[in-house]
């Protein structure tokens, strides 16, 4: 398997994992809805969510799992827009669900790979592919779609490009 095939396989696994989590969550707390209630999903997974004023601009979020205290924390940079914070929550949930090791235990290349997977996970969590396709049948305006999913236009465009959905607009 070449490097591109490996990336596609890992990205597919990340998206499938997000779909599984959404399915599990919405079975427990119906009905399925958009925008995805990502803050409720964080609580469902047992995380505490905190807005932090002291993160520098290069840090959108931080995830800490403290098994000795039986605590799981996600800290979000309070300076970022709600869209960025929602994506950061999805990204950190992705690291957790995909069982990525702490960055301190990883090479630079592994960190890039894990972050790419966490981004794929977050994109699928916030903009589930089938729901996005359904919405795009009646709504062709990317700005309006981004508002509907409560994501940035940039995140929406990345999802559309990565999933080859441009023809639906």
Domains of the chain: 3-126 (1.10.10.2910)
Distances (CA, A) of 41 to 23, 95, 120: 11, 14, 17
Closest CA to 95 of 69, 156, 105: 105
Considering only CA atoms, which of 57, 51, 55, 56 is closest in space to residue 89? 51
pLDDT 10s digit of each residue in the chain, 169 long? Answer: 455 666 667 889 999 999 999 999 999 999 999 999 999 999 999 999 999 999 888 889 999 999 999 999 999 999 999 999 999 999 999 999 999 999 999 999 999 999 999 999 999 999 999 999 999 999 999 999 999 999 999 999 999 999 999 998 8
The crossing angle, in degrees rounded to 10, of helices 142-149 and 153-162 is: 100
Count CB-CB contacts under 10 A for residue 132: 22
* Residues 15, 119 contacting (CB under 8 angstroms): no
Write down the pLDDT at residue 169: 85
């Amino acid at each position: 398997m070449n490097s591109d095939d490996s990336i596609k396989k890992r990205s597919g696994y990340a998206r499938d994992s997000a779909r599984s989590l959404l399915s599990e969550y919405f079975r427990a707390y119906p009905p399925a809805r958009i925008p995805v209630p990502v803050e409720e999903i964080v609580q469902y997974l047992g995380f505490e969510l905190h807005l932090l004023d002291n993160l520098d601009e290069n840090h959108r979020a931080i995830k800490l799992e403290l098994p000795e205290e039986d605590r799981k924390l996600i800290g979000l940079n309070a300076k970022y827009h709600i869209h960025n914070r929602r994506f950061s929550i999805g990204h950190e949930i992705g690291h957790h669900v995909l069982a990525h090791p702490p960055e301190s235990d990883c090479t630079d290349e592994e960190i890039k790979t894990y972050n790419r997977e966490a981004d794929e996970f977050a994109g699928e969590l916030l903009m589930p592919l089938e729901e996005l396709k359904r919405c795009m049948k009646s709504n062709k305006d990317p700005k309006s779609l981004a508002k509907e999913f409560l994501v940035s236009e940039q995140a929406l465009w990345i999802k559309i490009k990565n999933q080859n959905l441009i023809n639906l607009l």
